Structure formats: structure tokens, C-alpha cells
Amino acid sequence: MSDLNLAKQEPVFNTNKSMVYVLFGFLGFLILFPVLSPGQFLLHLMIMIFMHAVISQSWNIIGGFSGQISLGHGAFFGIGGSFGLQFPTLQGQPHLLGVRPSNRWLIGLD
């Protein structure tokens, strides 16, 4: 048999079915995690973990794969965090009530 026929018969993604079940189970757990009301600390911890995972993966794509230096990721991350905290205080609102209006203002919808 030629090498071309062997290559055509090989699966594109060589995954184990048990690994797929574990992945879907983990995704289901992540979707149901806020509904299970784990408490403020664990919810805050999971939010911080995944927020930093997203920012690190975007840095990995920009800096690692393409070789570009991007200082905008850190700048927008810091500006969004500080503005999201300061805007409700300036409006005289509690912090949680001002998160959505501050995000809308930051991206230019208001």
C-alpha cells in the first residue's frame, strides 16, 4: 500500500472516546458551576482564573505564534479594570450596578 493511501486512512483527530466524555463533563461542570452557588470566594476565584487564562492565551497567540510585541493587551486590561471600578463610584452607585453602564461607555455604545 502506498504512503498516500495510508495517509488517507489515518484519522484527522486521533482522540479517545473517554477523553471526549471527560471534556464534555468538565464543560458541563463549568456551565453549571455558577448555578450551584459555590459561594462568593470560589466564584471570584474561578472568574479570576479564567479571566487570566483568556488574557494569557491571547498573549500567547500574539507574542508566541506571530512574534509581535503587543502592549495593548495589558493596557486595555488595566484600563478596563480601573475604569470599571471608578465609573460607578463617580456616579454614586454601588460597584455591581455600574459594571454594565461602564462597559457600554468604555466600548463606545453610550
98 class by beta-carbon count within 10 Å (0-12 exposed, 13-18 middle, 19+ buried): buried
**Residue type (1 letter), 22:** V
3-class secondary-structure state, position 20: helix
The 8-class DSSP code of residue 15 comes to -
Predicted TM-score (pTM) of the model is: 0.45
Return the minimum-mean-pLDDT range out of 12-21, 47-56, 64-73: 64-73
Q: Which three cell numbers stand for residue 83?
A: 475604569
Q: Where are the domains of the chain?
A: 1-68, 71-110
Distance (Å) of CA 104 to CA 28, 32, 87, 96, 108:
30, 27, 11, 14, 6
Q: Is the pLDDT of residue 73 over 70?
A: no
Residue 18 scores a pLDDT above 80: yes
